Amino acid sequence: MLKPGSIPNREPEIRVGIVLPEDNCTEITINIPAEPDYFIISENQHKYNLNSGDEVLFTANKNQCSLFVNSGKIDTGKIWKIIPKDDIIMNNKTGVKVNNVVSGRSFHWEKKISIYLAGIIEVKGVEGNLVLINDLPLEEYLMCVATSEMGQACPRELIESQTIAARSWMLANVEMKHVDLGFDVCNDDCCQRYQGTTFLSEQSVKGALNTRGKVLMYNNQICDARYSKSCGGVMETFENIWEDTPLDYMQPIPDGPKDFENSNLPLNSEEKVKNWLNSTPETFCSPKIIPEDELQKYLGSVDEKANYFRWTFNYSQDKITKMLNEKCDLQAENIIDIIPMKRGYSGRLTEIKIIYLHKEEKKESILKDQYNIRAAFHDSFLYSSAFIVEKDDNQIPKEFVLKGGGWGHGAGYCQIGAVGMALKGYSTEDILYHYFPGSELKRIYK
Ligand SMILES: [Zn+2]
Ligand SMILES: [Zn+2]
């Protein structure tokens, strides 16, 4: 596992959680590929050879897991490791195939997919559920992340800059969300999306090889290089999203060329936010640079088709009352008004007031944090909290319209904006220095 705050001088091994306790998974099947040869070993050193084409099944049994090979029960153990006997050549769909893995965990795009994993596979029982961890060298992991996060049609500069941002974020390792379960990161948007070699492309392999060991540094520390799908035109700051000390290399700057100008910037009044979100400025992430019907070929394969830069949701009085009652525990009979209270530099709401009727009395409720706001204002999760609210003049409005921009927290690297920059001919360095101003690219291991 990675050590927090340390700068490695050689390539580290990392552990990725693929099946987590919250997936409530009690059975996992894994298919052994034609090559290389594999063996499986338990914590008690019970060791068995596996052959090409074998189907390995694990079933949960309290804190143990039972092992079946080709439907025959073999043994029971606490922790099993499936280990390749030779190096795995990093190629599309190399490694073992793991079935029914959750992708888009707890988001509206959640689904189950089969994925291919290189490296070592570890399976253990945790209180009646199975946990699966993939153990592999960091550079192999990064090859996979670049294409899991983005589509295979991405330009080289996009893959390279994305790989460097992902490597930096991994090694900065400040979040450590899953340290209790014994892995560095999970396989989903909670950390960074990873689907093994399933969509691995020649280009993403090259992206990692060309940038091997390179990270962004600031003040002799590896940058916590966060990224999201679309900033919506202006990058958000670290402190407005994670309520922490500001990071100098995440600035609220427009996602456009150095001479980019727009009369609505900075977004320091409701009027300006309204004009900004009602227009389509020509930033790097704008559909004026990349038409949205072409976005699909640059975005990862599990994303649904949508407009990300500017979007609208219409909610009837019934719908919004039901939704906010459920999500914010309001017991409202009607929603009267929704009032923006605080916004970040990108227009992202960090505080909102909901005025509602309860037993014919006017009440109000304050909702804080962009994450909570996104969770409240959509059946599953709103694209971003950068939105304005329009309603009719009725005392009890018939409809509320949310008009918004961007997808994700918007701080740091804007993935769609980086596509736009790459298509416009900017270099890998240009892209990284644009999203992380003041940082410096360095190679920390060979
Ligand atoms: Zn995670
Ligand atoms: Zn952007």
Token digits for 6? 């340390």
Q: Among 113, 136, 159, which residue terminates a domain? A: 136
- Confidence (pLDDT) at 104: 78
The mean pLDDT value for 380-407 works out to 96
Confidence of residue 302 (pLDDT cuts 50, 70, 90): very low
- Confidence (pLDDT) at 149: 64
* pLDDT beyond 70 at 422: yes
Task: Tell which wins on pLDDT, 362 or 105.
Answer: 362
Confidence of residue 152 (pLDDT cuts 50, 70, 90): low
Nearest-5° Cα angle at 250, 248 to 253 = 115
Are the C-beta atoms of residues 97 and 50 closer than 8 Å to each other?
Answer: no
What distance in angstroms lies between residue 260's CA and the mean position of ligand 1's atoms?
A: 36
* pLDDT beyond 90 at 309: yes
Q: Among 186-190, 203-207, 385-389, which range has the highest average pLDDT?
A: 385-389
What distance in angstroms lies between residue 353's CA and the mean position of ligand 1's atoms?
A: 30
- Confidence (pLDDT) at 193: 85
What distance in angstroms lies between residue 292's CA and the mean position of ligand 1's atoms?
A: 29
Least Cα distance to 235 among 245, 221, 247, 223 occurs for 247
- Kindly state the helix (H) or strand (E) to which residue 418 belongs, with its residue range: helix 415-423
The mean pLDDT value for 353-372 works out to 96
153-182 tens-digit pLDDT: 778 899 899 999 999 999 998 778 899 999
The boundaries of the domain holding residue 80 are 14-136
Q: Among 99, 115, 136, which residue terminates a domain? A: 136
315-343 tens-digit pLDDT: 999 999 999 999 999 999 999 999 999 99
Q: Report the number of distinct structural domains present in the chain.
A: 2
Least Cα distance to 104 among 243, 377, 299, 294 occurs for 299
Task: Tell which wins on pLDDT, 295 or 124.
Answer: 124
In a domain, 324, yes or no: yes
Considering every ligand atom shown, identify the ligand nearest to the alpha carbon of residue 169 and give its number. 1
In a domain, 288, yes or no: no
- Confidence (pLDDT) at 385: 98
Confidence of residue 55 (pLDDT cuts 50, 70, 90): very high
* pLDDT beyond 90 at 110: no
- Confidence (pLDDT) at 350: 96
What distance in angstroms lies between residue 283's CA and the mean position of ligand 2's atoms?
A: 7
* pLDDT beyond 80 at 243: no
The mean pLDDT value for 2-8 works out to 86
Confidence of residue 391 (pLDDT cuts 50, 70, 90): very high
Considering every ligand atom shown, identify the ligand nearest to the alpha carbon of residue 384 and give its number. 2
In a domain, 296, yes or no: no
Rg (CA), the chain: 24
* pLDDT beyond 70 at 97: yes
The one-character DSSP state at 397 is -
What distance in angstroms lies between residue 111's CA and the mean position of ligand 2's atoms?
A: 27
- Confidence (pLDDT) at 150: 66
In a domain, 109, yes or no: yes
- Confidence (pLDDT) at 190: 85
- Confidence (pLDDT) at 398: 98
What distance in angstroms lies between residue 310's CA and the mean position of ligand 2's atoms?
A: 12
CB neighbour list of residue 42: distance below 8 Å, 6 or more residues apart: 67, 75, 77, 78, 79, 80, 81
* pLDDT beyond 60 at 135: yes
The mean pLDDT value for 348-368 works out to 96
In a domain, 401, yes or no: yes
Beta bridge partners of 400: 315, 391
The mean pLDDT value for 408-422 works out to 95
In a domain, 359, yes or no: yes
- Confidence (pLDDT) at 5: 78
Q: How much is the mean pLDDT over the chain?
A: 93
In a domain, 395, yes or no: yes
Considering every ligand atom shown, identify the ligand nearest to the alpha carbon of residue 178 and give its number. 1
- Confidence (pLDDT) at 49: 97
* pLDDT beyond 70 at 446: yes
* pLDDT beyond 60 at 344: yes
Residues 19, 229: Cα–Cα separation, whole Å:
24
What distance in angstroms lies between residue 118's CA and the mean position of ligand 2's atoms?
A: 33
Nearest-5° Cα angle at 38, 35 to 41 = 170
Considering every ligand atom shown, identify the ligand nearest to the alpha carbon of residue 420 and give its number. 2
* pLDDT beyond 60 at 301: no
Q: Which residues neighbour ligand 2 (ion) by CB within 5 Å?
A: 231, 255, 285, 414, 417
Token digits for 77? 């153990």
Residues 270, 267: Cα–Cα separation, whole Å:
8
Q: Among 114, 136, 158, which residue terminates a domain? A: 136
